[in-house]
Amino acid sequence: MAFVRKKSVLPIYLVGGTWLVWSLAAPLYKPTHYIMAGLASAVVYYLGKIILPDRGYEIDDLEEDDNESEPQPQKPQAEPVSPEVQQLLQERDRALSEMRRLNDAIQDPTLSQQIDRLEHTTQKIMDAVVKSPDKLPQIRRFLNYYLPTTLKLLNAYDRMDATGVEGANIDGTKGRIEDIMSTICTAFDRQLDALYGQEAMDISTDIDVLEQMLAREGLGSMNLSTDDIQK
């Protein structure tokens, strides 16, 4: 058991009240006045300690130790982000923002749907690499050529479309951009799929091994030959 003392605050209140009453009822402009008020406050403080003395109580040592040793909750710290990942995040936000701007500006419904598809796929590609930075080398060409060239083509389409003028050069260029957009969408989808190639291969291997083990234990439905089971 541990003994804890709780001090009474009443004497302090009484001292404050004494100074207040003294300033209202007696002069307080000479040093002797302050000395007398101080003596009166000391007497009041002493009487207050007698009227309401400090209190003490006992607590369990184990409870005290538990309270002292209880760990304080800590705020989760964000994992540090490498410069390459930070740059990738900035590139993702810039590319997606540009796609949304172009989508709002271009009125062609087919092209608008294709830009929506590109935006969705681009975000998934970037997010996959942010979660697994070791996949960054797989999208170097995507980042350095395919994505910026696609944005360049869409910006050219937007500028030509905004002129409101029909002509062989403008219509021909816009037509070629419209024709290649389907191919670009497919290429972006394949880039996303390629990021999961190794993971898909590992999962396929795990499934094959699991099926064989279940078959050997007589727990699966796979039809294996007697030679396969004896291996």
pLDDT tens-digit series, residues 133-182: 999 999 999 999 999 999 999 999 999 999 888 889 999 999 999 999 99
Task: Please report whether residue 181 resides in a domain.
Answer: yes
Whole-angstrom CA distances from 112 to 103, 125, 179 are 6, 20, 14
Q: Are residues 165 and 138 in the same domain?
A: yes
Q: Per-residue pLDDT for 230 more than 50?
A: no
Task: Please report whether residue 103 resides in a domain.
Answer: yes
Contacts of residue 44, defined as CB under 8 A and 6 or more positions apart, other chains included, come to 11, 14, 15, 17, 18
Confidence of residue 218 (pLDDT cuts 50, 70, 90): confident
Q: Per-residue pLDDT for 224 more than 80?
A: no
Q: Are residues 47 and 126 in the same domain?
A: no
As a whole number, mean pLDDT of residues 91-108 equals 94
pLDDT digits (tens, 9 = 90+) for 14-34: 767 776 676 767 766 667 766
Domain that holds residue 125: 83-195
Q: Are residues 35 and 135 in the same domain?
A: no
Q: Looking at per-residue confidence, does 50 or 132 come out higher?
A: 132
Task: Report the first-to-last Cα separation within the chain, whole angstroms.
Answer: 70
Task: Please report whether residue 228 resides in a domain.
Answer: no
Model pTM greater than 0.85? no
Q: Are residues 43 and 142 in the same domain?
A: no
The label of the residue with tokens 């608008």 reads 112
Task: Please report whether residue 170 resides in a domain.
Answer: yes
Q: Are residues 121 and 171 in the same domain?
A: yes
Pair of tokens at residue 103: 């989508």
Q: Are residues 60 and 88 in the same domain?
A: no
Residue-level pLDDT at 43: 76
Q: Are residues 48 and 125 in the same domain?
A: no
As a whole number, mean pLDDT of residues 97-121 equals 95
Residue-level pLDDT at 17: 72
Q: Are residues 175 and 113 in the same domain?
A: yes
Task: Please report whether residue 47 resides in a domain.
Answer: yes
Q: Are residues 98 and 148 in the same domain?
A: yes
Residue-level pLDDT at 198: 76
pLDDT digits (tens, 9 = 90+) for 35-94: 777 777 777 777 766 776 666 555 555 444 555 555 666 666 656 678 888 999 999 999
Q: Are residues 42 and 103 in the same domain?
A: no
Angle at 81 between CA 80 and CA 83, to 5 degrees: 135
As a whole number, mean pLDDT of residues 2-13 equals 62
Q: Per-residue pLDDT for 121 more than 70?
A: yes
Task: Please report whether residue 54 resides in a domain.
Answer: yes
Residue-level pLDDT at 73: 65
Q: Are residues 52 and 91 in the same domain?
A: no
Q: Are residues 38 and 108 in the same domain?
A: no
Which CATH number belongs to the domain containing residue 188 in this structure? 1.20.5
Task: Please report whether residue 109 resides in a domain.
Answer: yes
Contacts of residue 33, defined as CB under 8 A and 6 or more positions apart, other chains included, come to 26, 27
Domain count, the chain: 2
Task: Please report whether residue 113 resides in a domain.
Answer: yes
